[in-house]
Amino acid sequence: MAWIVRLIGLLALLAGAGMWLVADMSLLVLPAALMVVGLVLLVAPSIFLLFLE
């Protein structure tokens, strides 16, 4: 289950980076939000599993 969350986080991070490269300067909020959500989804399973142990 944790690897699915990490995969979704990686996809969100890559989608945000791709949108950042092709977006106008006025539309950088959505790519930044996607990148933050992607990073949270990449790190959250590790922290959650650490607290469960």
**1-53 residue pLDDT tens:** 888 999 999 999 999 998 888 877 767 888 889 999 999 999 988 888 888 87
Q: What is the pLDDT of residue 23?
A: 77
- pTM for this one? 0.80
User: What tokens does 20 get?
Assistant: 């950042």
> What is the DSSP annotation of 7-51?
HHHHHHHHHHHHHHHHS-GGG-HHHHHHHHHHHHHHHHHHHHHHH
User: What tokens does 40 get?
Assistant: 């949270």
Q: What is the pLDDT of residue 6?
A: 92
Residue 49 corresponds to which amino acid? L
